[in-house]
Amino acid sequence: RHYNAAPLDKLEGLLNDIMAFNSNSKLFTLVRAVVTYFYLIYIKPFDYFNEECALLSLKYIIPSSV
């Protein structure tokens, strides 16, 4: 079955997964930022401005670990 966005009942678990990935990952900062960006674009957790929120997350992750 094809979805345009993540089902609402699975959204909380998906967001918890990406937060756990960011806090526990030993990968390079840029890799974590890009994975988070594409993950948020893929699941579309918001009604509007998904791309903007994903880009803000990317911009937040990169300087926060320096």
pLDDT score of 55: 95
Cβ neighbours, 10 Å, residue 53: 16
Token pair, residue 21, equals: 């990935």
Distances (CA, A) of 1 to 4, 7, 47: 10, 12, 21
Cβ atoms of 46 and 57 closer than 8 Å:
no
Place of tokens 């997350």: 57
Q: Which two tokens stand for residue 49?
A: 């401005």
Identify the pLDDT of residue 65. Answer: 67
pLDDT in tens, 9-61: 999 999 999 999 988 888 899 999 999 999 999 999 988 999 999 999 999 99
